[in-house]
Amino acid sequence: MSVGNSAGPRRREPELNAAVRSRVLASDPATGEVGGPASVRSVLQEPGLAVAHGPRGAVYLTVEGRALREALLRATDAPQAASAEPTGFAAATGDEVDPGAEPGSPARRGELATAWAGVLETRRITGSGRFPAAWERTRMVWSVALALEAGGAPASGTDANGRRTQVGYRVFEGPTAATVRVQWRGPASSRARLEAEEQLDRCARLLAACGWEAAAYLVTGGHRYLEVRPAG
């Protein structure tokens, strides 16, 4: 993408001093929000590498800013930053051992709302609309689990021995990098298997509303699952 043309002034390349590089590298992997002093953030805004948005004036990396961040990560060989979980929020996949916070607790609701708002903001900034953004597609299990939890679906869970302790969804990797699967699981004595068709249909509707496409399958033995992929 060109940063200048004959129809307007040419954008000045940013001053990539240590402070600027540090803030770009430390930006939120999911939302692209940039912290730090206003003077540092303005250096990124002027050439279009970041943009201010929202009532609190938060500054987010643009597509060009994200490309800069990736280049800096490669140049500085910082694998721990590149592999960081989006927003630092651990979306419930249904395989958590002895899940801690109650799904409906105020603390969990607040963290969940912030994480989901970050997803929507990233979609807006990157222009993906109602469909999953590129970074969601590289973190499919996390992204689908977040969409389900944000939609109000309960997650399953296990004890230290792998036995199911809670009834709810379970999200896990699919047969290809472009898909994940969702089951409805619970303790052996629960009604989870009997409710699977109804509950997975509910999960499919929640995911469709969030830009995901879910197809239902029934396999030998009567086990059901959804195969999920980005709709757009």
Q: Is residue 8 part of a domain?
A: no
Of 57, 82, 107, which residue constitutes the final position of a domain? 82
Query: pLDDT digit string (tens) for 140-150?
Result: 999 999 999 99
Number of domains the chain contains = 2
Query: pLDDT digit string (tens) for 24-57?
Result: 877 887 788 888 778 778 888 888 888 888 777 8
| 41 neighbors 50 (Cβ within 8 angstroms) | yes
Q: Is residue 9 part of a domain?
A: no
Domain around 114: 89-230
Q: pLDDT at position 220, please?
A: 83
- Same domain, yes or no: 58 and 115: no
- Same domain, yes or no: 47 and 153: no
Of 53, 82, 111, which residue constitutes the final position of a domain? 82
Q: What is the distance between the alpha carbons of residues 90 and 123, in angstroms, rounded to a whole number? A: 20
- Same domain, yes or no: 65 and 153: no
Of 82, 111, 133, which residue constitutes the final position of a domain? 82
Q: pLDDT at position 85, please?
A: 45
- Same domain, yes or no: 77 and 110: no
Query: pTM of the entire structure?
Result: 0.65
The residue with greater pLDDT, 34 or 214, is 214
Q: What is the distance between the alpha carbons of residues 231 and 208, in angstroms, rounded to a whole number? A: 8
Q: pLDDT at position 80, please?
A: 34
- Same domain, yes or no: 130 and 48: no
Mean pLDDT throughout 194-221?
95
